[in-house]
Structures are given as structure tokens and as C-alpha cells.
Chains A and B, each alone.
Chain A
Amino acid sequence: MSSTQDTRTPSTTPVALIVLAWLLVALPLAYGLFQTVKTAIPLFTG
């Protein structure tokens, strides 16, 4: 990724921050998915 018309000092985004941010949203979502699938199973098994 690049920036045009930007003369400020380049910096890099810490990989740890990106991983942390994705984990913070992915973990609750995984919990929700698991619970939903668990609830939906009786629909097909009776």
C-alpha cells in the first residue's frame, strides 16, 4: 500500500495490534457461530 501526496514520516502498523484487533472480533463471533450451530442441530436430527 502506498500514499501519494503525503510527505509525513512513514510508519508501520504493529502486526501484534492487527492480530489482537482481529482476535477481539473473531473470538466472540466464533462463540456465536458455535452456539448457533449447536442450537440448529435438532432441526435436522429431530
Chain B
Amino acid sequence: MAVPSFLAREKTIAAPGFNRWLIPPAALAVHLCIGQAYATSVYRPALSAEFQTSETAIGGIFSLAIVMLGLSAALFGTWVDRNGPRAAMFVAAVFWSAGFLVASVGISTGQLWLVYLGYGFIGGIGLGLGYISPVSTLIKWFPDRPGLATGMAIMGFGGGALIASPLSRQLLAGYGLDSTDATTLADTASGAVTMLFITLGLVYLVFMLFGSAIIRVPADGWKPDGFDPSTIKSKALVTTDSVSAANAIKTPQFWLLWVVLFCNVTAGIGILEQASPMIQDFFSSGAGAVTATAAAGFVGLLSLFNMGGRFVWSSTSDYIGRKPIYMVYLGVGLVMYLLLATLGSSSTVLFVLFAAVILSFYGGGFATVPAYLRDLFGTYQVGAIHGRLLTAWSAAGVAGPLIVNAFLDAAGDGERSAADYRPALFTMVCVLAVGFVANMLVKPVASKWHEPKDAPSTPERSTAR
């Protein structure tokens, strides 16, 4: 599929002397916008009141968006690598923005299916394209610090929720949403949420197009001053060879990493999904009882650690290596889950501490995986390989809530306590143990999957076997 000339990859090749520090803000401009997907709980009650349906049915819109993220990243990853980041970011901006606008029509006319189509389907495609579009470009601009580079961008995805949550609350109040009681909520929801979606759609369009305009790809053979690629090759598991996306999915390494990502995300979602009710149920009585307001603060704090973990842990992986950092995410994460289940109810501070560390590892797992893929498969089609791997996120997005909700449903209705959460928490310990073993089994990719040494280095001329 050809793209207009102003979006073509050749037009984005940086001239000598280009400063690579313009690339992270370009990537952040996209990720800060699409990170809104984590901030949907703000208007979920309003949509539920407007459509007179359960919050679970409304939650389906956002689950669809995450499923579409994984599918579009997997399906269009090769297209993104071939056409470059500007075209991908432009198309992502159009889809993400159009998703909001179509959904706003659905809200204003009372047609829920249009919200599913808009935000869930169309917006979800924008999510997937936007998520992977700057990643391989960053890896190529920062061959000396790929973990730092991808950490900066993917931190933006976590940061997007930090911005969108309070912004959406303030905009909804400004557009007249009255959430003080159920009757007024239903009366004011439609207009306010419609206007919120239109505003977000237009603001995100401008922001993402800015990122698309300033993004550049490095020329073939470019490397940072003073960078010696042989220093990278000397590290364990790091290759200077190239593996195509078509071949990568035939290797055990790809599927082991798929399991690693799936387990890490499933465990993180286990906390994220129930964060607010969980802390209130753990501390429901006595002087240390956690109020709904304080629980909202806890959710915000988790977002902060989710975002911080993406930058801090991914940057750390440049020094200690990708495999060891995943041993920390999964191994220490497993211990944190055990402590949360056994000691979490003894102190609010301990509960918050354990959950915050788990969420920082959840974010770190997302941000480090592109660099892990680069180490194993090279930079050749790392964007497309990353796209295919993100199907693990979609699967975990379904499995994580299913596991937690199944155990909570089995505990029955009525007031819950810490004991009701323990089976789900211990299940997550097992999930993390599986991920830990999968990570331990990762070995260098066999040479039979490497591209011939004289093969073209740019993705647009690739001939995937």
C-alpha cells in the first residue's frame, strides 16, 4: 500500500548533523496521546448511566480497543517498518482521532454500537499503529542505549493516563457533568461526554501530527559519535545479525518472549483491574480504613509507578542486560505478590509498597521488550516483530481480568476481605513462575534464521523468507 510522497520514508531520512534528541519528544507526542486508553474509568460510570447498561458492557469497548491494539500491531507491523514512522504516526493520529469522533456521534445519538466501532475498533487500530510506530526508529537512533530510548517512549503510554484522567475530570465538569447523584448523572452525561470525546479527538490529532512532522529516521550506516558496535556484540544474547519478522515467529525465542510478556502483563492487570476495590476491601474497618477518595489516590500512585518503571527499569536493562532484568520483573515480582497476599493486609504502607513495585515491573516489562527483541533478532524488522509480540498483551488483557473476576465471583456477593483475594493473588504467583522459567530458557537465535550478510539492510527492500 503506497503512501503520499510527503509521508514517504525517504523524505524522513535525517541529514548529517541532525540532533537525535528530537526523536524522543516526537515519540512521546504519540504515546502520551494513546496512553489515554488507561484513563477510561473516569467516564465509564457516565457512559453506563447514559446507555443504561452495566459498566461491564461499557468496559467491553475498552477491551475491544486493547484487542485491536494487538491485532493491528501484529498485522501492520511490517507495513510500519516498510513505510517508516512518519506515515505510521500520521495514520495512527487519523485513526485514534477518528475513533473519538465516531464514538462521540454514538454517544450523542444514543447508539452504543457506534461507540464500540469508534473507540473500540477504529481507535484500537490507531492505538496499535501508534504504539509500535516510533519504537524501531528509536532503537536505530540510540543503538548505544536502546533500553533508555524505548523506555522514554513507552513511559509516555503510562504518562498518557496521568494526563488524561485529571484532564477528563476537569473537562467533564466544565461541560456540565453532574455526578452528584444517579439521576442528574444520566441527564448530563450525554452532552458532557460527547463534548469530551470531540475535544480529546481534536487535541490528540494535533499533538500526534506534530510528532509525525518532526520524526526522522537515521541514514543507512549512521551511528552516534564514539559508538563502537563491537561493545554491544560482546554482551550475552546480543546479535549484530538480522532476523526477518516472518522467520522470527518460527523461533522458540519469540514464543518464549511471548509467554514472558503475557505472564508479566497478566500479573500486572491482576492488580490494576481491581486496585480501587481491593485496597478498600483489604482495609475496610478500624482507624486504618481506606476511603474511596484515598483509593482513587492509590490508583493514581500505581499509574505513577507504572510510568516510572517503564523509564527506570528499561534504562537499567542497558547496564545489566535484558534477561537479568526480566528475572527481576518476574522473580522479585513473584515474591512481591506472595508478600502482598500474606502480609498485605497488615499495613496500608506495606500494601501500597508491594503493589507499587509490582506495577513498576509491569511497566518495565512493556518498555524493555523492544530492546530484548533488538538484542535477539537485530534491528532489521524489529518493529514488525514487536507488533506480533503485542498479541501477548491482548491475550493478557482478556486473561488477567478473567482470572481475578472468576475468583472474586466464586467468593460470592457481599462484603469482601483480604482472604477473598488470596486465591487470585496466589494464581498470579504461579503465572509469574511460568514467565520466569520461560525467560530462563531464552538462548541466542540459531544462525539458520539469520538473513544473509549481503541482504539489504532497510526494511522497505526486505525479502522476508
Q: A residues touching B (Cβ–Cβ < 8 Å)?
A: 1-6, 8-13, 17-18, 21-22, 24-25, 28-29, 31-33, 35-37, 39-44, 46
Contacts and interface: CB of A to CB of B under 8 A. Distances in A.
B29 interface: yes
B163 A32 contact: yes
Provide the main secondary structure of the chain B interface: helix
Contacts of A25: 25, 28-29, 32, 156
Size band of the B side of the interface? 35 or more
B410 to A, nearest CB: 29
A20 B26 CA distance: 11
A2 to B, nearest CB: 5
Q: Which 4 A-B pairs have the closest CB atoms?
A: A32-B162, A35-B166, A32-B163, A13-B19
Contact of B219 (A3, A18, A24, A42): A3
Contacts of B304: 33, 36-37, 40
A32 B300 CA distance: 10
Given A8-B16, A13-B18, A42-B294, A24 B166 contact: no
* Chain A interface main SS type: helix
B288 to A, nearest CB: 8
B221 A28 contact: no
A39 B167 CA distance: 13
B221 to A, nearest CB: 4
Nearest to B27: A25
B414 interface: no
A43 B25 contact: no
A21 B16 contact: no
A29 B300 CA distance: 14
Interface string B217-229: 0111111110000
Most buried by B among A4, A32, A44: A32
B111 interface: no
13 contacts: A2-B222, A3-B222, A8-B15, A8-B16, A9-B15, A13-B17, A24-B29, A25-B25, A31-B167, A36-B162, A39-B297, A43-B297, A43-B301
